[in-house]
Amino acid sequence: MKRQTMYLRMITSSLVRRRSRMIVALLAVAIGATILSGLVTIYYDIPRQMGQEFRSYGANMILTPSGGGRITPEDAARAAALIPPENAVGIAPYRYENIKINEQPFIAAGTELEGARGASPYWFVSGRWPEETGEALIGQEVADIIGIGPGGVFTLSGITADGDGFKGEFTVSGVVQTGGAEEAFVFMSLEALGDIAGGGGLDVVECSVSAPQTELEELAERIGAGTPGVTARLVRRVTQSEVTVLSKLQALVYLVTAVVLMLTMICVATTMMAVVAERRREIGLKKALGAPNGEIIREFLGEGLLLGGLGGLLGAILGFVFAHTVSINVFGRPILFKPLLVPVTMLVSIAVTGLSCLLPVRRATDVDPAIVLRGE
Amino acid sequence: MFWRMVRGAVFRQRGRVLMIALTVALGASLATAMLGVMLDVGDKVNRELKTYGANINVIPKGASLLGDLYGVEDGSGVSDQYLPESELGSIKTIFWAFNIVDFAPYLDARAVLNGGGDVSLTGTWFDKRLELPTGETLVTGVRGMKSWWDVTGEWLAPGDTHAAMVGSAVAERNGLIAGDTISVGYAGRSVDFLVKGVFDAGGSEDDRIFVPLGAAQELTGREGRVSRIEVSALTTPDNELSRRAAQDPQSLSVKDWETWYCTAYVSAICYQIQEVIPGAIAKPIRQVAESEGAILEKTQFLMLLITVLSLAGSALGISNLVTASVMERSREIGLLKAIGAHNSPVSRLVLTETLAIAAIGGAAGYFAGLGFAQIIGQTVFGSAVEPKPMVAPIVAVLVVAVTLAGSIPSIRLLLSLRPAEVLHGR
């Protein structure tokens, strides 16, 4: 009992008395631990954060009718409910009707405008998105052919699949540029299309879901099994490429982390060595007073462990702040806190400080105390 | 005498000198590697993003996208326009030729499959070796551009003339597998193709049959003509200037126009393609062009922040060590002061020593860092990281600043000590 109190007192007093030196060492350990926990947190969060950015490529899963015909709104709602709401960036159901404006053939697309906006963030709209049922968004090509811009009024007519004619007047709220086939479309809300062309099913539902490819595949299967009227397909061009780019990025951060980590570990180790090496006289004195080698090593190790633990804890906290700063600045989103990283950071810093203390202490205990004390 | 003391300190206390030099070298190599990778990451990620396929679509003036929608092809007046195949090479002669990674021409037609149903036929280049007007050769085609295709069987080789790749939807409808022979008819003529591969593109291409461009031109009687070109180019993210230019390049002032023309904006590259291919309209495919910009920006910013923060971290670490090693010399400095040295020569001496050691370490670290950057480049992207000349001065400044920051406070502390106390061993 007494021995242990003495041991603890020796460790703490050596940390407290040699305050400035110990602060230097503690700082070194804390910096190393900060970089470790910060970079590892970023590394693990990259797929989630960048995955969000990749959603700017638009839909990565589409729902199509299983057989012929169309998707009923009930089926679409049931399928959409299977997508976890926190992962759904945008879900846009589309209903297409062939229409004519000034006797020129075009396609009218009825959609949920809010969902379409989320699923296709790359659309470049001059003007604004429709807000009322009497407004429509027209593609650049439509605008060029019929010669109207935002604010213009046009009449469209068409024939439903059942053979009934319909007609409607719309105000152009904006012109959309995409560089793709959508430029020949007229977009309006589902309700607006339903008002003029009557009720009808959906042709396709575009979903932009923030999830890795394997999760998406599972999700597609679940949707197929849960709603028999709907088949879910992945948009391979988007999902495949996302996997390629993300894995490269993660590998990059991984390597950078490894290199930085190695260097900071060496930095910590050299600092610890320098701090211990200057205590050779103290070791010599202890030996001259009759302390066995094992006890001296244990004492220094105890100091190292305490220092490593403290520095690791400090570093884990600072590292989270570091990762959070990066995440907020780059992605504008907070980072996920990984509780497991705290003990891991502490363990690694304890191991590194312990090991780097051991080496110089070993060397110091090996020499003759008389020589050390003489100052050679 | 001064230099002899510096030399003596450097050579006699080899262990301690080595430790400082090693730490500075490590820090410098870290800085070099990170800066090198950071400056090059944009280019590298941009190339990776090319897996998303083309970002520019070149179509003949007056052609309409309506053909895609209704299947109206011939005679309806909307898609009877073609581009000359002979002009394709000049895409690689524009100002930003170096940024054009891949391109492929397409000739679309509706044909009859095996005497039965209608099918969309597309003639294209698969792995075309192209002699450029500049005398270089270039290998380009859909094989590089459609990297997401999942092919059962094989891709067409450059020598194949009567072979085809069939989209999975067409293959499923007609029960085709690799190795089958199909007959494709057009306006009364008919040609046999060997199916070399079936691909799953997860998109509208699954409804098409791809054949070599020459074969499609022969079948449809449109020798030397193509209906559209897809171009995959490395571009700079759009900003306010490029958006203004995309609306109307003529509205820019002369200076703005030059800036715009000489920057790899997607709109500038489109403009330059229109200059070299007569009668063509080049349109950015916004889905790809826009998103690439966003992702590129984020990646660069992420790397920048990681670099800055880890540099700050390692700078702290190094100056920490320098502080520790200068403090160790309290007895020596005490002795110097005891025999009558003034403060300023003493601090000059210690500073010169430390800086000399740091310079050696920094130089070694710089070259080691170049190596680190190459390792990262090769492992992650499979290509070398270009060494940038601006990295060297940055690293040099960093090393000097960090060493000074580490040694000056500790020297001041030592100078304030009383020699007698220090020598006594307190």
Residue of chain A whose alpha carbon sits nearest to that of B426: A18
pLDDT at A100 over 50: yes
pLDDT per position as a tens digit, B338-347:
888 888 888 8
State percent of chain A over pLDDT 90: 3
Read off the tokens for A261.
Answer: 């980590």
pLDDT at B79 over 70: no
Read off the tokens for B121.
Answer: 């036929």
Decide: B59 and A141 in contact? Cβ < 8 Å.
Answer: no
Q: Which range among A58-67, A87-96, A344-353 shows the weakest confidence by mean pLDDT?
A: A58-67
Phi, psi angles (nearest 5°) of residue A215: -65, -40
Residue A126 CA to residue B409 CA, distance in Å, equals 60
Q: How confident is the model at residue B75 (pLDDT cuts 50, 70, 90)?
A: very low
pLDDT at B263 over 50: yes
Q: How confident is the model at residue B241 (pLDDT cuts 50, 70, 90)?
A: confident
Chain B interface includes A38 (CB < 8 A): yes
- Work out the average pLDDT over B230-255: 81
pLDDT per position as a tens digit, A190-225:
888 888 887 778 888 888 888 888 888 898 888 888
Give the ipTM. 0.72
User: Residues 6 or more apart from B324 whose CB is under 8 A from it?
Assistant: A21, A24, A25, A271, A274, A275
pLDDT per position as a tens digit, B357-412:
888 888 998 998 888 888 888 887 777 888 788 888 988 998 888 888 877 877 77
In eight-state DSSP terms, residue A71 is B
pLDDT at B69 over 70: no
**Residue type at B135?**
G
Place of tokens 């007494």: A2
Please tell me the number of Cα atoms within 13 Å of A348 on its side-chain side: 23
pLDDT at B74 over 50: no
Residue of chain B whose alpha carbon sits nearest to that of A236: B202
Per-residue pLDDT, B71: 44
Cβ–Cβ gap A237/B201 under 8 Å: yes
Instruction: Label residues B151-170 b or e (16+ Cβ within 10 Å = b).
Output: beeebbeeebeebbbbbbeb
Q: How confident is the model at residue A375 (pLDDT cuts 50, 70, 90)?
A: low
Q: Which residues of B touch A239 (CB under 8 A)?
A: 202
Decide: B123 and B216 in contact? Cβ < 8 Å.
Answer: yes
Q: Which residues of A touch B298 (CB under 8 A)?
A: 50, 53, 330-331
Q: Which residues of A touch B147 (CB under 8 A)?
A: 240-241, 244
User: Residues 6 or more apart from A81 whose CB is under 8 A from it?
Assistant: none
Paired with A107 in beta bridges are A98, A185
Sign of CA dihedral A376, B5, B9, B11: negative
Task: Report which secondary-structure segment, H or E, holds A268.
Answer: helix A236-277
Residue B232 CA to residue B280 CA, distance in Å, equals 16
> What residue spans of B111-249 are helical by DSSP H?
142-145, 168-174, 213-220, 240-247
- Work out the average pLDDT over A168-185: 86
Per-residue pLDDT, B385: 80
Contacting A residues, span 269-288, partner chain B, CB-CB under 8 Å: 270-271, 273-275, 278, 281
Instruction: Label residues A35-73 b or e (16+ Cβ within 10 Å = b).
Output: bbbbbbbbbbbbbbbbbbbbbbbbbbbbbebeeeebbbb
In sequence order, what DSSP letters do the residues of A289-358 get, joined into one string?
TT--HHHHHHHHHHHHHHHHHHHHHHHHHHHHHHHHHHHHHHHSSPPPP-TTHHHHHHHHHHHHHHHHHH
pLDDT per position as a tens digit, A210-264:
888 888 889 888 888 888 888 888 887 778 778 877 888 888 888 777 777 777 7
Place of tokens 């072979």: B163
Instruction: Label residues B385-411 b or e (16+ Cβ within 10 Å = b).
Output: beeeeebeeebbebbeebbbebbbebb
Chain A interface includes B139 (CB < 8 A): no
Q: By CB neighbour count within 10 A (0-12 exposed, 13-18 middle, 19+ buried), where does A181 fall? A: middle
pLDDT per position as a tens digit, B271-305:
888 888 888 888 888 777 777 777 778 888 888 88
User: Which among A152, A205, A196, A146 is positioned nearest to A174, based on CA atoms?
Assistant: A152
pLDDT per position as a tens digit, B167-195:
888 888 888 888 888 888 887 788 888 89
Q: Which residues of B touch A235 (CB under 8 A)?
A: 202-203
